């Protein structure tokens, strides 16, 4: 596999996801375009409600109701690993697949794995309705009635042709790889018998047990302590290298993203406002939102007594009543009257592999 060239795995093109609720239509994702490359890590940062998690769900075609993908494509360059010798390449638009169909169910879990913030409780509120429960989601979700080992074995059996005994061996091996002590015993533990860090390891083990081409990690370490977080991030990096897996890493923690991703997309109100290499984004942020976000976090080891943090004035706008022009203009320190409130900014190249959508960088 090529390691130097960027080979696209997932291409999201002008994606729009809307939620039609009683009070109106919420544009959770509004014209998002981005690419995840094979074997690379793409970070997505943004504050709550900016649409980062919905984007992840859109890729797996798991938008919770009443949400809908209303526009755009999610191109998946599929590579089937059938018997290891022959490679079949296939191009699928995931946005057009039947959300209950066989195809997307093979992709979910089998080819694109996902881990969530809190393994005990992250999924249920969205997927309770009976008939809509899909297999892969249940397999990812640690239901307290199953032993941990069974859950991994089940995942393996659903996507690979192995016997129960073989699956158990794989389950133990996976638990070992994610650093759970005494995996032969832990394989028979129930989730409540594990600590938060161990549960997240089990989630990673489940997600990786089928050697997916991509792992979507939605705030995987947010609920964990720093020492455990460091362990989990190390495991993810090691496993990524050993199986050449792409990672889409979603977080609001700027420190975590720096240590994980090569490239970052910054989202605000359902739109990408800036994209670039990690160093570019941190050293030379172009969009005023990114600049403000970076200034507003306290930096470790750079204390100056009594210093105030830079803040972003105002609040995230009402999703039913979005500002005209650039959605960030009411909070923007570089607001240009008569321009930012009228013209919607375009996605503009601002540097080497660095884009932003801001009128400051658009030529007249």
Partner 1 sequence: MAAEGQVQPAQANAKNNNYLLEVKGLKKYFPIQKGLLRRTVGYVKAVDDVSFFVREGETLGLVGESGCGKSTAGRTIIHLYEPTAGEVLFNSRILSSDGTRQRVNLLDLPPNQLKAIRREISMIFQDPINSLNPRMTVSDIVSEPMIIHGFSMDSETEAVIIRLLERVGLRSDHLRRYPHEFSGGQRQRIGIARALSLNPSLVICDEPVSALDVSIQAQTLNLLQDLQKDFNLSYIFIAHDLSVVEHISDRVAVMYVGKVAEIADAEELYSSPLHPYTEALLSAVPKADPLYKSDRIVMQGEVADPSNPPSGCYFHPRCQYAKDVCKLKTPEFRELKPGHFVACHRAEELKLEGI
- With residues binned 3-state (H G I as helix, E B as strand, rest as coil), the percentages for the chain, rounded to 5, are 30, 25, 45
Which of 158, 230 has the CB closer to partner 1?
Answer: 230
Three-state DSSP class for 27? strand
Among 238, 310, 320, 333, binds partner 1 (CB under 8 A): 310
The strand pair at 112-115 and 214-218 is best described as: parallel
User: With CB under 8 A as the contact rule, which of the stretches 17-25, 63-71, 311-319, 342-350 interacts with partner 1?
Assistant: 311-319
- Interface residue with partner 1 among 5, 85, 300, 321 (CB under 8 A) is 300
Other Cβ atoms closer than 10 A to 103: 14
178 contacts 234 by C-beta, under 8 angstroms: no
- Shortest distance in whole angstroms from residue 82 CB to partner 1: 38
| DSSP 3-state of 107 | helix
Cβ-based nearer residue to partner 1, 23 or 300: 300
**Burial (Cβ within 10 Å: 0-12, 13-18, ≥19) of residue 208:** buried
Interacting span for partner 1 (CB under 8 A) from 161-169, 294-302, 321-329, 347-355: 294-302
Q: Counting contacts by CB under 8 A, is residue 299 touching partner 1? A: yes
Told to check if 234 binds partner 1 by CB under 8 A, we report yes
189 binds partner 1 (CB under 8 A): no
Dihedral pair phi/psi, residue 171, rounded to 5°: -60, -45
219 binds partner 1 (CB under 8 A): no
Q: Does 124 bind partner 1 (CB under 8 A)?
A: no
CA dihedral 138→165→176→60, nearest 10 degrees, is -30
**Three-state secondary-structure class, residue 199:** helix
- Figure out which of the listed residues 112, 120, 205, 256 binds partner 1, where binding follows CB under 8 A: 256
Judged by CB under 8 A, does residue 243 bind partner 1?
no
Return d(Cα 202, Cα 216) in angstroms, integer.
Answer: 15
Q: How far is the CB of 298 from partner 1 (least distance, A)?
A: 4
> Site residues (CB under 8 A) for partner 1?
47-48, 181, 195-198, 225-231, 233-234, 252-256, 258-259, 278-279, 282-283, 292-294, 296-301, 303, 306-312, 315-316
């Amino acid at each position: 596999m090529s390691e130097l060239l960027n080979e696209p795995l997932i291409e999201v093109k002008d994606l729009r996801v809307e939620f039609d609720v009683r009070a109106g239509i919420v544009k959770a994702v509004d014209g998002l375009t981005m690419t995840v490359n094979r074997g690379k890590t793409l970070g997505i940062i943004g504050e709550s409600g900016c649409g980062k998690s919905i984007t992840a769900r859109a890729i797996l075609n798991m938008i919770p109701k009443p949400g809908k993908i209303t526009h755009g494509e999610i191109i998946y360059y599929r590579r089937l690993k059938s018997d290891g010798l022959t490679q079949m390449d296939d191009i699928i638009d995931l946005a057009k697949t039947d959300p209950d169909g066989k195809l997307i169910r093979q992709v979910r879990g089998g080819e694109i794995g996902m881990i969530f913030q809190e393994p005990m409780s992250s999924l249920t509120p969205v997927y309770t309705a009976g008939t809509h429960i899909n297999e892969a989601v249940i397999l990812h979700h640690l239901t307290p009635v199953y032993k941990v080992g069974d859950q991994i074995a089940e995942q393996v059996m659903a996507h690979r042709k192995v016997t129960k005994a073989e699956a158990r061996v794989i389950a133990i091996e996976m638990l070992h790889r994610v650093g759970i002590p005494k995996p032969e015993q832990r394989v028979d533990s129930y989730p409540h018998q594990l600590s938060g860090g161990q549960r997240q390891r089990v989630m990673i083990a489940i997600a990786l047990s089928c050697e997916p081409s991509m792992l979507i990690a939605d705030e995987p370490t947010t609920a964990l302590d720093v020492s455990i977080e460091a362990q989990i991030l190390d495991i993810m990096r090691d496993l990524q290298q050993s199986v050449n897996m792409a990672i889409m890493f979603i977080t609001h923690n700027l420190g975590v993203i720096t240590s994980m991703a090569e490239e970052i997309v910054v989202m605000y109100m359902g739109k990408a406002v800036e994209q670039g290499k990690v160093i570019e984004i941190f050293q030379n942020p172009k969009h005023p939102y990114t600049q403000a976000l970076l200034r507003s976090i306290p930096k470790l080891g750079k204390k100056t007594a009594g210093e105030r943090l830079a803040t972003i004035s105002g609040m995230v706008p009402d999703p039913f009543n979005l500002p005209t022009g650039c959605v960030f203009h009411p909070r923007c320190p570089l607001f240009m009257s008569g321009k930012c409130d009228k013209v919607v900014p375009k996605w503009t190249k601002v540097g080497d592999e660095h884009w932003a959508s801001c009128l400051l960088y658009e030529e007249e």
